[in-house]
Structure 1
Amino acid sequence: MLDLIIRNATLPDGRQAQDIGISHGHIAALQPALAAQAPREIDAAGQLVTPPFVDSHLHLDSTLSLGLPRLNQTGTLLEGIALWGELKPHLTAEAIYERARKLCLWSIAKGTLAIRSHVDICDDRLLAVEALTQLRAEMKPYIDIQLVAFPQDGFLRHPKSAENLARALAMGVDVVGGIPHFERTMDEGAESVRRLTRIAAEHGLRVDMHCDESDDPLSRHIETLAAETVRHGLHGRVAGSHLTSMHSMDNYYASKLIPLIREAGIGAIANPLINITLQGRHDSYPKRRGMTRVKELRAAGVPVAFGHDCVMDPWYPQGSHDMLEVASMGLHVGQMTGVEEIKACFQAVTSAPAEILGLEGYGLHVGAQANLVLLQAADPIEAIRLRAERLHVIRRGAVIAQTPKRETLVTLGAVPKFIDFTQGGLKTL
């Protein structure tokens, strides 16, 4: 006996009329016309069932802090950093926890069941580490959270970063982070990469660095990160986040750099909402878009994920933690409007970040964890176009969130019609 069956589902790879049988929190069967029964069955009615969305780059410690202590009047990255510095002395572990927990509820409602969050370790009290390790443990039945030790003020620039990093790792932080372009000099940025990758190798940990979040084409710390990844044998365990300077580099240098990234097995994490918002601020016209070279990286075989980065905080006043909104922005900024390119944008918020984060049991296959999302859409392309409703969100075989179908009653004369904006969605009463 199965615990749950989802009938007549369309899968992201295009397979249709699939039944998904779930037992003991795992996918036990995946085939058409499954001859089995379960206490609960959900009719997908031909709509898309996908593994959950994955946010590979977020800042849970600052989320939902918009307006504290004041609003970012210029909207710039540097004013956002300054604002966070003003807020730090007034932070409490309780306030960080409550905001982050609220965001996790939004995430679950949007079908995002895995998050990698950077956590600032340049507050010497490590309140955010305390709050988010507690939250990670409490939310584990519902959402997977990885924490990155992030020296927001610079690993070498902040006097206690090394000590704080050691404390954070001892408290259970999962990943070593960095921000080399925020160090005082290029040399110190490169040195921070060397030190941090060595620490990660010694502890057997993954690495995820804010790297070259700049319009400066000479910000090339990803090159050092690739070299140190190879040096320490960290292939497949390292991510470079943002990489926005690549958008400003000349093609010759990029043609050298991208193969180095591929050789090192580094994953790239772009943040379309924030990259398009914060980059190019010093430009008049023409104005740079700022997002990294997603097409070229993918063509070279580099896994590319999209992150949300910020939700209503000093750097970004918008957002509801909808990864389909992120995919849509990535599609537009990257000019990825070909059929396969749009599908790649869907993968950038599902399977690609799952690979970069090393999530175990992720996917749609027998034996995978039964973490699934039923969307009000026929396929990944329609899901992005509509920011499709998450009709059912399933965690380890249990439905943990439901949303009513979205439809609007339009009355023209005496003929009322329901529309739901899907390609085939028009129903007459």
Structure 2
Amino acid sequence: MAEFDLIVKGGTLPDGRVTDIAIRGDRIVAVETLPEGVTAGTVIEASGDLISPPFVDPHFHMDATLSYGLPRVNASGTLLEGIALWGELKQIVTVDDMVARGLDYCDWAASMGLLAIRSHVDTCDDRLLGVQAMLELREKVKGYIDLQLVAFPQDGFYRDPTARVNTLRALDMGVEVVGGIPHFERTMADGAASLAELCRIAAERGLRVDIHCDETDDPMSRHIEALADETIRHGLQGRVAGSHLTSMHSMDNYYVSKLLPLIAEAGISAIPNPLINIMLQGRHDSFPKRRGLTRVREMQAAGIRVGWGQDCVLDPWYSLGTADMLDVAFMGLHVAQMSHPAEMARCFEMVTETNAAILGLEGYGIAPGNMASLVVLDAKTPVDVLRLRPARLAVVSKGRVIARSPRADAALSIPGRPASVRRRAPG
């Protein structure tokens, strides 16, 4: 009988170690060079390839994904038209539609090594069809993808007449994170009040919080300040995330110098979504045109945890996307101008370890005793992974190989040149 169920041989970890990984059941049991003759039911040869923990997306909208063009296209490309369009789609969508599209997206995610997703689900619907669909989807994919759900009152916790009641209903049904959108309330005061109540609800229920916060070009949208205050007031440090935070892109430097220490003191994580933020923001500008990404490097320098999010794929807000978190990190490092090798490596960490910490995932990472989930990539270093966005040669989820892809070598027919080419960095 084989000693292990699966061995990944000779791969390189993100920290540069070359090692074997032995798996039994759904757990990693050894990360070391194994002696010759050790047997396994399945062996993956990974010599020269990077072995990464799975990719994690801390911000997504699974209830809307793959619905692009239904019932029409977002002609202006703005956030507000996207919200209005989603309101139209909600009137005609069914639970089965959302589950089917969600399963298709999870197939994409699995093939890309994206094995944990936090998805906001709209609670501004008295039928709560999206909540029903996402709870059903979570159950269907739990064997290979960890799907964490946020109760998200898309049209405003107070602005929508039944959103408050329905958000509480969603939490009672099993949604595990409290969401909100204070900048979409009717007034700044209502936005602050919504944060006070949402944080109180989370504290009473022992839940995490993830707020769509200041997703606007308006530098006076400063709900992140109120969120930091409520986080401390309710003892939620380390359990709260502010998603988007695009207004910080337009704030004056003096105010930001006051704001960053407050966010750090509250232990709030930040989740910018570069693909979507730079597509939606600045639509009212001529030139110079703002791109809307929040102050990533400055927040990291202040000790704030920052992770990249996907947000949308083929839906009312975004017409592209492939479920590849490396696309997200690649765009993020460009817009945030994170070009130093250490910064680029940090961008890789942001879509793996950092995002896992934001979600509070247990047993994450390549270490003995942790969940046996990993990705074998056709590259050798994290920076080269970002450059190439390479093939996922193998995806292992909870001890099972769930996806394989061939290398993306190109055949050449050029006299005097090699028969094939691989675009890895030299060395």
Q: Once structures 1 and 2 are overlaid, which stretch shifts more, 32-41 or 56-65? A: 32-41
Show CA shifts across 1:156-190 (max 9, x none).
00000111011101110010000000001111111
Give the corresponding residue for 1:316: 318
Deviation for aligned residue 1:33: 4.3
1:63 corresponds to which of 65, 80, 87: 65
Paired with 2:30 and 2:255, the residues of 1 have a C-alpha distance of 48
Show CA shifts across 1:117-160 (max 9, x none).
00000011100000010110111001000000000000000000
TM-score (ref. length: structure 1) = 0.97
Q: Aligned to 1:332, what secondary structure does the other structure show? A: helix
Paired with 2:22 and 2:367, the residues of 1 have a C-alpha distance of 11
Give the corresponding residue for 1:148: 150
- Written as runs of structure 1 = structure 2, the 5 A alignment for 1:88-127 is 88-127=90-129
Q: Aligned to 2:4, what secondary structure does the other structure show? A: coil
Paired with 2:203 and 2:175, the residues of 1 have a C-alpha distance of 15
Paired with 2:345 and 2:284, the residues of 1 have a C-alpha distance of 33
**1:400 and 2:402 are equivalent in the alignment:** yes
Show CA shifts across 1:338-386 (max 9, x none).
0010011111111101001000000111111110000001111111111
CA contact (8 A) 1:215 1:245 kept: yes
**How many pairs does the alignment contain?**
424
Deviation for aligned residue 1:2: 1.5
Give the corresponding residue for 2:132: 130
What amino acid sits opposite 1:293 in the alignment? R
CA contact (8 A) 1:19 1:34 kept: no
Alpha carbon RMSD of aligned pairs, Å? 1.1
Instruction: Point out where structure 1 has 5 or more consecutive residues left out of the alignment.
Output: none
Paired with 2:417 and 2:250, the residues of 1 have a C-alpha distance of 55
Paired with 2:86 and 2:262, the residues of 1 have a C-alpha distance of 34
Q: Aligned to 2:322, what secondary structure does the other structure show? A: coil
Paired with 1:415 and 1:316, the residues of 2 have a C-alpha distance of 41
Paired with 1:416 and 1:240, the residues of 2 have a C-alpha distance of 50
2:212 corresponds to which of 206, 210, 213: 210
CA contact (8 A) 1:243 1:270 kept: yes
Paired with 2:148 and 2:49, the residues of 1 have a C-alpha distance of 30
Give the corresponding residue for 2:21: 20
Give the corresponding residue for 1:44: 46
Q: Once structures 1 and 2 are overlaid, which stretch shifts more, 36-45 or 190-199? A: 36-45
- Written as runs of structure 1 = structure 2, the 5 A alignment for 1:279-358 is 279-358=281-360
What amino acid sits opposite 1:378 in the alignment? K
Show CA shifts across 1:90-124 (max 9, x none).
11111011111110100000100000000000011
Q: Once structures 1 and 2 are overlaid, which stretch shifts more, 124-133 or 412-421? A: 412-421
Give the corresponding residue for 2:231: 229
What amino acid sits opposite 2:31 in the alignment? L
1:387 corresponds to which of 371, 386, 389: 389
Q: Aligned to 2:419, what secondary structure does the other structure show? A: strand
1:81 corresponds to which of 80, 83, 88: 83
Show CA shifts across 1:259-283 (max 9, x none).
1111111111010000110111111
**1:160 and 2:181 are equivalent in the alignment:** no
Give the corresponding residue for 1:198: 200
Paired with 1:414 and 1:333, the residues of 2 have a C-alpha distance of 40
Q: Aligned to 2:366, what secondary structure does the other structure show? A: coil
What amino acid sits opposite 2:29 in the alignment? A
- Cα 1:34–1:148 change in 2 (3 A) is farther
Paired with 1:415 and 1:348, the residues of 2 have a C-alpha distance of 38
CA contact (8 A) 2:125 2:163 kept: no
Q: Aligned to 1:263, what secondary structure does the other structure show? A: helix
TM-score (ref. length: structure 2) = 0.98
Show CA shifts across 1:221-241 (max 9, x none).
011111100000011110000
Paired with 1:412 and 1:388, the residues of 2 have a C-alpha distance of 24
Q: Aligned to 1:118, what secondary structure does the other structure show? A: strand
Give the corresponding residue for 1:2: 4
Paired with 2:281 and 2:27, the residues of 1 have a C-alpha distance of 42
Give the corresponding residue for 2:30: 29
Give the corresponding residue for 1:259: 261
Paired with 2:375 and 2:341, the residues of 1 have a C-alpha distance of 22
Instruction: Point out where structure 2 has 5 or more consecutive residues left out of the alignment.
Output: none
Paired with 1:422 and 1:33, the residues of 2 have a C-alpha distance of 27
CA contact (8 A) 2:182 2:212 kept: yes
Deviation for aligned residue 1:32: 2.7
Deviation for aligned residue 1:413: 2.4
- Cα 1:216–1:415 change in 2 (3 A) is closer
Q: Aligned to 2:126, what secondary structure does the other structure show? A: coil
Paired with 2:97 and 2:84, the residues of 1 have a C-alpha distance of 20
What amino acid sits opposite 1:159 in the alignment? P
Show CA shifts across 1:286-318 (max 9, x none).
111211111011111111111110000010000
**Percent identical residues:** 59
Q: Aligned to 1:367, what secondary structure does the other structure show? A: coil
Deviation for aligned residue 1:414: 6.2
